[in-house]
Amino acid sequence: MRFATLLAGITLAAALPAAAAEPVAGPAAAAAVQASGVFAVTAVVSVNASIPDGTTLTGAATANVGDPKFSNYSSVSLTGVVKNRKVTLTGKVPYLWALSSRGANVTVSVSAYSYRFASGDTLSYSTYVYKSIALPKNGATTKVALFGAM
């Protein structure tokens, strides 16, 4: 109340600078481009002979791009069943990212693992495979094939 009373008789002689001239802080202001699409990921993994046919492997397909201003990461869960010492894991990883520029590469990866219990022991098997690719055009579905072993 006292502050309002003091300001009542004051007239400002100079115009305030326009707010638009001030830089805007925060992630929304720094976004230069948007990237969107889908990575259709297929990973074929050769498995250890001690993993029998019919064993279900679980894992994840991920896509991420390094950017100095934004964190961009997308992931989906995967499962596959071992047959003839191989397992194929497939999934679609949708993404919608804010980027400083379109010049960065994308890392697409698959991790897979299996746990077995045998004779009182826990047997753990895992693998991680990845590929670095150029950022696709917006709206594209990009096929990514990965191969590995465990």
Q: pLDDT tens, 37-77? A: 999 999 999 998 888 899 999 999 999 998 989 989 999 99
**Does a structural domain hold residue 132?**
yes
Residue 130 clears pLDDT 80, i.e. is over it: yes
**Does a structural domain hold residue 17?**
no
**Does a structural domain hold residue 108?**
yes
Helix (H) or strand (E) holding 55: none
Identify the top-confidence range among 31-40, 95-104, 131-140.
131-140
Q: What is the structure's pLDDT at 29?
A: 52
CA pair distance 62, 114, nearest whole angstrom: 18
**Does a structural domain hold residue 12?**
no
**Does a structural domain hold residue 74?**
yes
Domain count along the chain: 1
Q: Looking at this protein, which amino acid is placed at residue 35?
A: A
Q: Pairing between strand 33-46 and 140-149? A: parallel
**Does a structural domain hold residue 85?**
yes
Torsion 89-35-100-145 (CA) sign: positive
Q: What are phi and psi of 7, to 5 degrees?
A: -80, -15
Residue 26 clears pLDDT 70, i.e. is over it: no
CA pair distance 142, 131, nearest whole angstrom: 13
**Does a structural domain hold residue 20?**
no
Q: What is the structure's pLDDT at 21?
A: 38
**Does a structural domain hold residue 19?**
no
Output the average pLDDT for the chain: 82
Domain coverage including residue 72: 25-149
